[in-house]
Structure 1
């Protein structure tokens, strides 16, 4: 199984569904024949093929040392795009579900003297896996879990095994009564790395509070594209997308979505989030100036890769390694 290509879905068995908190179910997925699953690192996620044409990304929240199962947790969001509702309503114990091999855009960086994990609500899922890894490594870390109330906090039983590393902050629905994020992050200690994940308001609070931290010490993962003012696109005109392998040229009009233009031209390209968050559509490019609008690639990766669901060329010609 470890050699399964990233693009090939794996059919897993829903072994257990557990109500973890208000509106949150945890789903344990295993190989039907009991074989080990592809390994994953803390912070990784999988694509879950909930229904035909409906793919969603969920963080793996169990201990990365486990090879016999994947565990995801899904908060039912009545105001969302329908993915979480479909998971809650469709998936049942003993069902088979197709998932991708794990991908990680939110990995733990090496060399930290101390790690601070800040979780807002369902944002605890990737951070829980990180906490398991850090505990196993004997690292100095603390996990701060912010939620509305105790019954809204998932995995409390498992997190209790981490002892004094875990701190809960319940605000009763008013963030002013919860963790003082700005105060906590005001003075970054040398060698400390911060990881945070949660809903939009929580993400903004953490981002604002850590803006002065040293470069490379702050890491985050968005579940939804930020609601802060959109980054200005520098590309407004049309351009040519060329397929390196065949020489095929595709005209991409001004304002046209690159992923959709490729798909319309018969190029096989899988997409999911349509917001530059999941990496499902990530492709390598050979040449061209790119207007990157994703939220997952670092500057080094952007020299070779782009996410066509949101990014495009700044005019001229973009040669794709397809």
Structure 2
């Protein structure tokens, strides 16, 4: 019975990871905080987190499998559209790759595991999200809005070098616990003049090289911790993360095509305040 409950918790956290990885609400914060709330201990927490995050990224790669194949073929044939697409991804990937290698160790030593940091970044990120969505150019049914939207970048291959680098440097903010990689890149893209849906898709594509690189690096560092004792829990978490992420990616694209990110901003603020209250034993 105890083993069953342990595996049930592993499955539940897999769902949490799959749901939150591509939403702008910080998957790491949810994994660590919810894991602590339900008393989940995988014995090798870092490896568990790495593997189930890989499940999420493989899910988004599956959703975009046709586009990925088209990009690969087009790049080999040196077609302009695909080359520009790859150029923008590489430009956005480089800042996090370089800065991450230089600073991530020190940032983790300073801030990692401090739940009050998650609370602060969740609330601040939510406030920024609400501010971005409240700008006049984001308002519906206005001549000003229609004119602003007409100048927004609507295709990833049309993203400029400056826009790609803006998103790339914003991704570096995700090294601060609770910031949210997807939240930072999507909001930065919108501020840089990229259409909301396009910024969301660009964030998804950018997640692929970024998270695969992070997974390989982390497995190199922590792979020795992997053992058979909790292998089943890791496999279950991976499977549930994969399938829940499949649902979320499709649903999020449909949602942002019609609505704004305001609900996620309010969610971050509320969740952050709950975490702060929990840290100070108020709840």
Shared fold (TM-score, shorter chain, > 0.5): no
TM range (shorter): under 0.3
Whose Rg is larger? 1
TM-score by length of 1: 0.24
Higher helix share: 2
Higher strand share: 1
Higher relative contact order (CA 8 A, sep 6+): 2
